[in-house]
Amino acid sequence: MPSDDAPLIPTMKDRMLAGQPYVADSEIAALTAAAQQRMAAYNASDPGDPATRRRLLEELLGEVGEDAELRPPVYVDYGDRITVGPRTFANFGLTALDVAPITIGADVQIGPHVQLLTPTHPLDAQQRKDRWESAAPITIGDNVWLGGGVVVCPGVTIGENTVVGAGAVVVTDLPANVLAVGQPAKVIRHL
- Contacts (Cβ under 8 Å, ≥6 apart) of 114: 90, 91, 93, 94, 95, 146, 148, 149, 150, 151, 152
Burial of 191 from C-beta contacts in 10 A (0-12 / 13-18 / 19+): exposed
Region 8-23 average pLDDT: 86
CB atoms within 10 A of CB 9: 15
Whether 154 and 184 have beta carbons less than 8 Å apart is answered as no
Mean pLDDT of the 107-122 span: 97
- CA proximity to 81, closest of 28, 130, 128, 10: 28
Region of 87 (left: φ > 0; alpha: ψ -120 to 50; beta: rest) is: left
Quick check: 109 pLDDT over 60? yes
pLDDT, residue 71, reads: 97
Q: What percent of the chain clears pLDDT 90, i.e. is strictly above it? A: 90
Q: What are the tens digits of pLDDT across the range 32-64?
A: 999 999 999 999 999 999 999 999 999 999 999
Confidence of residue 104 (pLDDT cuts 50, 70, 90): very high
Distance of alpha carbon 59 from alpha carbon 57, whole angstroms: 5
How confident is the model over 159-175, as pLDDT tens digits?
999 999 999 999 999 99
- Could you tell me the residue ranges of all domains in the chain? 12-190
pLDDT tens string 123-160: 999 999 999 999 999 999 999 999 999 999 999 999 99
Q: Which stretches does DSSP call E strand in 18-141?
A: 22-23, 63-64, 69-70, 74-76, 82-84, 89-90, 94-97, 102-104, 109-110, 115-117, 119-120, 132-135, 138-140
Query: Catalytic residue positions?
Result: 121
Phi, psi at residue 161, to the nearest 5°?
65, 10
| Residue 7: alpha-carbon gap to chain centroid | 26
Q: Does the predicted TM-score (pTM) go above 0.85? A: yes
pLDDT band at 18; cut points 50, 70, 90: confident
Measured in Å, how far apart are the chain's first and last C-alpha atoms?
43
CATH number belonging to domain 12-190: 2.160.10.10
Region 6-21 average pLDDT: 82
